[in-house]
Chain A
Amino acid sequence: MLKHRVIPCLLLKEGGLVKTTRFSDPVYVGDPINAIRIFNDKEVDELMVLDIEASRSGREPDYGLIEQFAGECFMPLCYGGGIRTVEQAQRLFALGVEKVCIQSAGLADMSLIRRIADRFGSQSVLFSLDVKKGLLGGRAVHRRSGSRTESRPWRSVIDEAVGNGAGEIVLNAVDRDGTMKGMDTELIRQGSQGLPVPLVAVGGVGSLADIRKAVDAGASAVGVGAWFVFYGPHRAVLITYPRYDELVALLET
């Protein structure tokens, strides 16, 4: 039987690895190649690397760096950040990246997802959405880059991406990012309801039990940031990943 995937999500900023809290205060956590090598040795299910600066500063992906990442990954690698054209996606695939993750450019024009999916298949293109809780408890799309606010309801944005061929949806709970205080299971429930493609839930994991709760709420995969790079109350940097038998025991029905 297929396993639920547990995916380290690494954030890149100016070539270094950082970890944010609620999408702010990036803390430097080390050299990305070193971290990726460790995650490869730990036999992680998959790896996601997102450049949080690229779209904001209008930069293209750092192909040289990404090629080095791909050379270290004997598991699927997903890259996101600054991808605006099919040609950029093609260049990433040729370097050894399996999946590209689209956000800003997709919010501006979903046809980018369609064009990548038509050429390389839906399995190769993910759409990622950041959702934030408002003061009154409602949830709305949060935009990392660009000044335009998003007025469409978050769930219909996801459905539009799927309609355009996105093979997986990455759903980030902004308020949980970096907190390690548990995931927004209600968001995961609403996001996975009737979704025909896998949902990768991200934001808030601080324990194995949190991963199990996300899976029970409908996630096909769980993305983990802070919990895999920080250790202890003072958030010392330590790269970790659960043992395979721990994950098997955790996710058994």
Chain B
Amino acid sequence: MHVAIPAIQCGNFASVVNIIAKAGGTARLIEDPKELEAFDRVILAGVGAFDFGMSCLEDGGWIEPLDRLARGGRVPILGICLGMQLLCRRSDEGVRPGLGWIPADVLRIDVEPGSGLKVPHMGWNTVKVMRPNPIMPTDGEEQRYYFVHSFHAVCDEPSDVIATALHGQPLTAALGRANVMGVQFHPEKSHRFGLALMRRFLEWTC
């Protein structure tokens, strides 16, 4: 399986490439959207601010070709962290519209004052898988993942929520519909749990 990672900004792409190799696939950073056709799946990864992420996609000419893949329904697409938030309509963090493939808005994480909870939601958390899906096991075994984020996606349709993590309130840990999935956590930094997720992503056919 051959995964394209649009090289949209400085992010921790090395770790994503590493885990895909460990999961038995190959991944390549690509600079030119025309190259997308040569790959059978896409990972949108990145760290940083929402508007910066969208402007990188726009400046690189990624939006139209990615939109075609997303709506074509055949090529699996996975957004990681900021990459997941970019799948949504908008974010409290910026003013630019997102890709809008998932009907969801990205809101600032609110915690009760005095609760001792901090923002960003940073560290290892367990997740609750809400429904059968192509990337996360539903066998009931506890899964934990590494999170770092200050904003969270809120879906219009509960059926788009794949998993949640508790941080004062349930936060969307994974979302998706059809061939588009997104995870708020970092599978590339989540030991065997992230590796299992990546293997499933590589095996997933739409």
* Interface of B, helix, strand, loop or mixed by DSSP: mixed
Q: Does B159 reach chain A (CB closer than 8 Å)?
A: no
A interface bracket (residues with beta carbon within 8 Å of B): 20 to 34
* Interface of A, helix, strand, loop or mixed by DSSP: loop
Given the known inter-chain contacts A75-B146, A95-B14, A98-B12, please indicate yes or no for A2 contacting B189, CB distance below 8 A: no
Q: Which of the 9-residue segments B62-70, B95-103, B174-182, B191-199 touches chain A?
A: B191-199
Q: How far is the CA of A120 from the CA of B121 in the complex (A)?
A: 17
Report the minimal beta-carbon distance from B105 to chain A, rounded to whole angstroms.
Answer: 21
| Residues of the B chain whose Cβ atoms lie less than 8 Å from the Cβ of A136 | none
Report the minimal beta-carbon distance from B201 to chain A, rounded to whole angstroms.
Answer: 15
Q: Does A127 reach chain B (CB closer than 8 Å)?
A: no
Q: Does B108 reach chain A (CB closer than 8 Å)?
A: no
| Residues of the B chain whose Cβ atoms lie less than 8 Å from the Cβ of A196 | 118
Given the known inter-chain contacts A94-B10, A95-B14, A197-B118, please indicate yes or no for A75 contacting B125, CB distance below 8 A: no
Instruction: Decide: A2 and B123 in contact? CB cutoff 8 A.
Output: yes
Q: Which A1-46 residues have C-beta < 8 A from chain B?
A: 1-5, 40, 43, 45-46
Q: How far is the CA of A90 from the CA of B14 in the complex (A)?
A: 13
Report the minimal beta-carbon distance from B129 to chain A, rounded to whole angstroms.
Answer: 17
Instruction: Decide: B47 and A120 in contact? CB cutoff 8 A.
Output: yes
Which of B18, B166, B191, B194 has the most CB atoms of chain A within a 10 A radius of its CB? B191
Given the known inter-chain contacts A2-B167, A70-B14, A196-B118, please indicate yes or no for A75 contacting B189, CB distance below 8 A: yes
| Residues of the A chain whose Cβ atoms lie less than 8 Å from the Cβ of B186 | 76
B interface bracket (residues with beta carbon within 8 Å of A): 20 to 34
Instruction: Decide: A76 and B125 in contact? CB cutoff 8 A.
Output: no
Q: Does A121 reach chain B (CB closer than 8 Å)?
A: yes
Q: How far is the CA of A31 from the CA of B56 in the complex (A)?
A: 40
Instruction: Decide: B120 and A123 in contact? CB cutoff 8 A.
Output: yes
Q: How far is the CA of A202 from the CA of B47 in the complex (A)?
A: 28
Q: Does A146 reach chain B (CB closer than 8 Å)?
A: no
Which of B122, B144, B146, B190 has the most CB atoms of chain A within a 10 A radius of its CB? B122
| Residues of the A chain whose Cβ atoms lie less than 8 Å from the Cβ of B120 | 122-123, 167
Given the known inter-chain contacts A3-B125, A93-B12, please indicate yes or no for A43 contacting B191, CB distance below 8 A: yes
Residue interface mask B110-154, A partner, CB < 8 A = 1: 000000011011111110000000000000000010111000000
Q: Which A78-98 residues have C-beta < 8 A from chain B?
A: 90, 93-96, 98
Q: Which of B22, B47, B147, B190 contacts A121 (CB 8 A)?
A: B47
Given the known inter-chain contacts A74-B194, A120-B47, A123-B148, please indicate yes or no for A3 contacting B124, CB distance below 8 A: yes
Report the minimal beta-carbon distance from B10 to chain A, rounded to whole angstroms.
Answer: 6
Residue interface mask A38-56, B partner, CB < 8 A = 1: 0010010110000000000
Instruction: Decide: A71 and B18 in contact? CB cutoff 8 A.
Output: yes
Q: Does B160 reach chain A (CB closer than 8 Å)?
A: no
Q: How far is the CA of A73 from the CA of B48 in the complex (A)?
A: 22
Residue interface mask B37-72, A partner, CB < 8 A = 1: 000000000011000000000000000000000000
Instruction: Decide: A75 and B191 in contact? CB cutoff 8 A.
Output: yes
Report the minimal beta-carbon distance from A3 to chain B, rounded to whole angstroms.
Answer: 5
Report the minimal beta-carbon distance from B115 to chain A, rounded to whole angstroms.
Answer: 11
For the complex of A and B, list the 10 residue pairs with the smallest distance between their C-beta atoms, beginning with the closest.
Answer: A96-B14, A96-B15, A2-B123, A43-B191, A123-B148, A3-B124, A76-B189, A74-B191, A2-B125, A75-B189
Binding site for A on B (CB under 8 A): 10, 12-15, 18-19, 22, 47-48, 117-118, 120-126, 144, 146-148, 166-167, 186, 188-192, 194-195
A/B interface sample: 9 pairs, CB < 8 A: A40-B191, A74-B191, A90-B10, A93-B12, A121-B47, A124-B47, A196-B118, A197-B118, A220-B118
Q: A46-B146, A74-B189, A120-B47 are in contact. List 9 more A-B contacts (CB 8 A).
A: A1-B166, A43-B192, A70-B15, A74-B190, A95-B14, A96-B15, A98-B189, A198-B118, A221-B123
